[in-house]
Copies of this chain bind each other. A is one copy, B any other.
Amino acid sequence: MPATIYDVAKKAGVSIATVSRVLNKKDNVSEETKQRVMDAIEELNYVPNMIASALMTKKMSTLSLLIPDVINPFFSEIARGVEDAANNYNYNVIVCNTDYDLKKEAVYLNLLKQKSVDGFIVASAIYNDKNVYDLIKQDYPLVLLGREIDGIEKNTRTDVIVSNDICGGYQATKHLIELGHRKIDLILGPKEIKVNRDREKGYRKALRDHGIAVDKNRIHNGRFKIEFGCSKALEILRKKEQPTAIFAGNDIIAIGVLRAAKSLGYDVPGDLSVVGYDNTILAEIADPPLTTINQQMYKMGYMAAEMLIKRLKGDKKPAQRVIFETKLVVRKSTAKPR
C-alpha cells in the first residue's frame, strides 16, 4: 500500500491541508514546517495520487493524440513533436491509431472522455468528421492538425494547424513542368482526406498557369500505401498515354511508384520522374532519393501540443489558424523528360 497524504501528515505532525500546501507550493507555509513535511515525504517514499487530485481540479495533465497510424513516418514525427512539447510542460500523451476509421475514432474518443484527458489533438484528418464536430459542439479543448473543418467560424477555441497543401501541390507540379514534363499523372490518397483535395488543386492550378490542359484521367485516388502506389503506377505505365512524370500524394505512394517503375525496367528519373510528398525519412533513403515536398511534421506536432496546453492553462485568445509553408526538396528522382 503506497503512502497517502494522511501518512505524511501524521509523520510530519501536521494536517493534510498543510501537506497539500507544500506539495502545491501554495501560499504560506513556514520554512520549518515545510522542511518537516518534505522529510516525511522523503522517508515514506510518498508519491501524490494524481487521480485523487484530478477529481477536484479536473486536471490530469494528459493529452490525447489521434493519428491514423504511428508506423507512418509522417505521423510518428508528428507524435514525437507532440510528445516532446507535452513532456516539456509535464504532460503525457495518449496515442491512438484510428486507421482513418471513423468508428474506431469514435470509440477512442468516448474512452478518452471517460478518462478526463485534458485535451485532444486530432490529426486523423477525415473529411467532415462527425466526431470532431461533436467535440467542438461539446466544447472540449481541441486542436486540429493537418485538417480543416468547415463552418465553425463562430467557434473560438479550436485552433487549427495545417500545411499549405495547395502550395505544395503547386510547387511539385511546377517543378515537373519546368523540367519540361507535360504528361504528369497524379496519384493521391483518399478523397475523404482534405489534403488530397488541396494537393490536387495545386496541381491543377500549376498546369493551368502553364497552359497545360488538365486531363481528369491522369488524376487517381486511392490509399496511402506502398501497394496502392505500385499497382496504380503499373496500371498507368501500361496504358498508351504514358506519363513522363508521376506526382505522388505522399512519400509512401511514391515509393510504390518507384517499385513499379523498377519492376518494369524503367529508369528513374531517366524514363520517369517521380515526386513524393512529406519529406519523411523514406524519401531520403529511397532509390533514387525522392524529390519531394517538405512538411514540418515535428514542428506542427510540437506547436499543436503547445497551443493546446496554453489554452488549458487559460489562454483566451480567439482560435488561431496556423499555416505551415511547404518547400520543394529536389533529389534524384526528377529530371528532364527524354
- Chain A: residues with CB nearer than 8 A to chain B? 47-52, 54-55, 60-62, 64, 69-71, 73, 76-77, 79-80, 83-84, 87, 90, 92-97, 108, 110-116, 255, 281-282, 285-288
Residues of B within 8 A of A255 (CB): 285
Q: How many copies does the complex hold?
A: 2
15 contacts between A and B (CB under 8 A): A47-B113, A48-B114, A49-B116, A61-B111, A62-B94, A62-B115, A69-B80, A70-B76, A71-B76, A83-B97, A92-B112, A93-B94, A93-B95, A281-B282, A282-B285
Once bound together, how far apart are the Cα atoms of A280 and B49, in whole Å? 39
Whether the Cβ atoms of B80 and A70 lie closer than 8 Å is: yes
The contact of A79 among B70, B77, B281, by CB within 8 Å, is: B70
Whether the Cβ atoms of A95 and B97 lie closer than 8 Å is: no
Among all A-B residue pairs, the 10 with the closest Cβ atoms: A287-B287, A50-B114, A76-B76, A70-B76, A95-B95, A92-B94, A51-B116, A50-B115, A51-B54, A71-B76
Residues of B within 8 A of A108 (CB): 87, 92
CB distance from A233 to the nearest CB of B (A): 15
CB distance from A269 to the nearest CB of B (A): 14
CB closest residue in chain B, given A107: B87
Which of A49, A64, A92 has most B Cβ within 10 Å? A92
CB distance from A225 to the nearest CB of B (A): 12
